[in-house]
Amino acid sequence: MSLIGTLARLEAVESGHAQPLATVRHRHLSDRPLVLVPLTTAGEAGAPLGALVGTDPERPRLLAVPQPRDRELRFGFLAELADAVLPYLEGYVSEVEPAEQSATDPETGKKVKVEVELCADAPQLIVPSRAGAEYVRLLGRSMRFRRTAEQDPETPFPAPPRVPLLGRWLTHYGERGRVPGSALLLTATELLGRHWATGQSSLEDQHLGALLAWVDAPAGETGAAAALRAELDRDDEGQLRCPPAGPATDPAFDNKLLAPAVERYDRARQLLAEAADGEAADRLLGELHGAEEAVRRLLLSQLRPTWDAVWRTVGLLRELAPGARVAERWTRDRWSFTGHRDRVAAGEPPQPRRDDAVTAARKLAARESAQAQLEAQEALDDPLVMAGRRLAGEAFAAQVVEVTMAWTESKRPSPRPLLTVRTDDTPHLAERVKVFRSLDGKPQSAEFVRYEEDGSAVLRLLDRMGRAREPAEGSVPEKGDLITWTLFEHEQRTGAGLPEPEDTPWTHGGPPRTDPESPDPVTPEDLL
């Protein structure tokens, strides 16, 4: 963290309340996000325990698995999850706007513009924490290779229809969530942590309840005290008053409350299976429903506080005005969503278990440039972020004290005005180092020429002044102007192209296999 961020944390310690780390909102927030709060079973991979899901803060949908080790019940949960999530996702696929994309003409091999569809908006998933986002990936991985009875009548344990499709979507969202600055899959802790500094360590900030307490303390209490309460306070039965944001549950909850409830459910089910006559079966069925209802109530008690905390986070973030370049990043997210929509519609197989060499290299390159772009855009959008860059010598705010016109020495001279600027910042300038400023949202570049004796710097303006001999109106700063220059570029250049996956050289494993991956083998062991 930069020194400015550290300072903000220290100020938060002193004041007892979180301090701003940003003056604008740096992530896109949908008007109608889908919040998903999952819970998982301790010690099992991909055995969900329950979830709250929905787009209405007042009316979450509770999904629960009364016996998480039962495959049938797990499938039932996943089918319900698909039922809750897929209609939301599909609500966005048909509303499109025309857009242009460059593509390679297969016959001529030339780059041409083609008209394509771009979804007008994209669905947004919000989970409580980083672990929750990882769980979305895990759920996606556990579902996308499943086969339904329709796909493969021979499959021994067919998954309910649409479960594999949900798996592909969750995989896509999980992958996209790893791209810096993307907003298809957001986590509440990262949203809060990006915009506020608390008086605790970033490790402790992983606890959504404590983090939120710092940012939004109840009236009459300091954030520090509220955070401590959220972290540690237990009731008379030893249960946390603010349950963890999941997906892992508190061991005390597992051992004292959940395990007996699951056991009761198991017993009721066994008795029902052994029921001798119809009357007894009716009674036992009632008991089974009662046991299931008890598990659901328990899970709701763990999920609801987190659900409310996520929505509170969304509310807090909505109070911040979005940064100017947030919408541009969201457009990239819309492209990502549209791309996956098209792959699903084209009947492509699910994402492979491991990326082939070219896809992996592309993903890495895309994430690297997204990271650089995010850093540049956040600084340009937000003076507080820019302050961090200025402190690091990567940007400087300067006042123009003199403008001297100059031209290139060519047949058609172009303007290359010299600006003398004064700054209190300490940028890492050296001869011919390029600096950039934002002119009507576009970067204008200049190069450093020299320092004058009084410490002011001379810059030579290089572009965006039009084609004429005289620079275009407003393209050259005037004396007295205050301008923030950056040493980093505002827009990212894309790196060297990569070959198509089919042309992967043998050094990198050769072309990827094209046959669809086989589903995970299902064994009796699957029933744990």
Partner 1 sequence: MSASPHGGPPQRPQTTLRQRLAALRGPAAPPHPLDARALAALAANPGCRRRALLDGAGIDKAALATALGAPSGYGQSQFAFMRGHAFEAKVKKDGGLELLRLLGVADPSGARVPDLAAPGPEGRTARTALALREATAAGEWTLLDHPLLALEVAGSPVFLEPDAVVVGPDGRWTVVEIKSFPMIDGSADAAKVGAAARQAAVYVLALERTAALTEGAEVAHSVLLVCPRDFSNQPTASVVDVRKQLSVTRRQLARTTRVEEIAAALPEGVTFDLAACSPDRLAEAVEAVPHAYAPECLSSCELAFHCRSRAREADAVEALGRSVRGELGGLTTVGAVLAAARGEAGDPADPAVAALRRAAALRAESLAAASGRTAGGGGMPLAEPTDGTGAQEADPTDGTGAPDTDPTDGTGVPGARQSGDGPPGASAPGRAAGPAAGPGEQPSVGAPRPEGKAGAECL
Q: 56 to 95, contacts with partner 1 by CB under 8 A?
A: 68
The phi-psi region of residue 246 (left if phi > 0; otherwise alpha if psi is between -120 and 50; otherwise beta) is left
> Would you count residue 512 as binding partner 1 (CB under 8 A)?
no
Least distance to partner 1 from the beta carbon of 53, Å? 21
- The residues in 113-172 that bind partner 1, with binding defined as CB under 8 A, are 138, 141-142
Binding mask 234-273 for partner 1 (x = CB under 8 A): ---------------x-xx-xx--xx--------------
> Which residues are paired to 54 by β-bridges?
35
Amino acid present at 129: S
Least distance to partner 1 from the beta carbon of 395, Å? 8
> Would you count residue 439 as binding partner 1 (CB under 8 A)?
no
- The residues in 176-235 that bind partner 1, with binding defined as CB under 8 A, are 199-204, 232
Comparing CB distances to partner 1, the nearer of 422 and 460 is 422
The tokens describing 454, both together, are: 């009084």
Least distance to partner 1 from the beta carbon of 527, Å? 9
Of 103-111, 173-181, 286-294, 422-430, the segment contacting partner 1 by CB under 8 A is: 422-430
> Would you count residue 16 as binding partner 1 (CB under 8 A)?
no
- The residues in 27-46 that bind partner 1, with binding defined as CB under 8 A, are 41-46
Q: Hunting for tokens 């896809």 — which residue is that?
A: 359
- The residues in 321-350 that bind partner 1, with binding defined as CB under 8 A, are 321
Comparing CB distances to partner 1, the nearer of 117 and 425 is 425
Amino acid present at 227: A
CA distance 144 to 353: 10
Residue 516, number of CB atoms within 10 A of its CB: 11
Least distance to partner 1 from the beta carbon of 208, Å? 16
Task: Look at residues 76, 32, 75, 74 and name the one whose alpha carbon lies nearest to residue 54.
Answer: 32
Task: Look at residues 394, 263, 378, 412 and name the one whose alpha carbon lies nearest to residue 23.
Answer: 378
The binder of partner 1 chosen from 221, 233, 424, 500 (CB under 8 A): 424
Q: Hunting for tokens 């310690």 — which residue is that?
A: 13
Query: DSSP readout, 481-498?
Result: -EEEEESS-SSPPP-S--
User: How is residue 4 annotated by DSSP?
Assistant: H
* C-alpha of 441 from chain center: 25
Name 295's Cβ contacts closer than 8 Å, sequence gap at least 6. Answer: 64, 66, 258, 261, 262, 265
Least distance to partner 1 from the beta carbon of 402, Å? 11
Comparing CB distances to partner 1, the nearer of 9 and 269 is 9
Is 30 within 8 Å of 36 (Cβ atoms)? no
Residue 526 in 3-state DSSP? Answer: helix
Q: How many residues bind partner 1 (CB under 8 A)?
A: 73
The tokens describing 265, both together, are: 């459910």
Least distance to partner 1 from the beta carbon of 255, Å? 5
Task: Look at residues 121, 167, 160 and name the one whose alpha carbon lies nearest to residue 141.
Answer: 167
- The residues in 445-504 that bind partner 1, with binding defined as CB under 8 A, are 454-455, 480, 482, 484
User: How is residue 148 annotated by DSSP?
Assistant: B
Helix (H) or strand (E) holding 140: helix 130-144
Least distance to partner 1 from the beta carbon of 517, Å? 10
Comparing CB distances to partner 1, the nearer of 90 and 204 is 204
Phi, psi of 424 (to 5 degrees): -95, -10
The binder of partner 1 chosen from 344, 361, 384, 439 (CB under 8 A): 384
Least distance to partner 1 from the beta carbon of 167, Å? 12
The tokens describing 525, both together, are: 């062991």
Of 283-291, 300-308, 329-337, 397-405, the segment contacting partner 1 by CB under 8 A is: 397-405
Comparing CB distances to partner 1, the nearer of 384 and 458 is 384
- The residues in 292-321 that bind partner 1, with binding defined as CB under 8 A, are 321
The binder of partner 1 chosen from 16, 57, 383, 512 (CB under 8 A): 383
Comparing CB distances to partner 1, the nearer of 129 and 142 is 142
Comparing CB distances to partner 1, the nearer of 277 and 525 is 525
User: How is residue 322 annotated by DSSP?
Assistant: B
The binder of partner 1 chosen from 72, 95, 100, 526 (CB under 8 A): 526
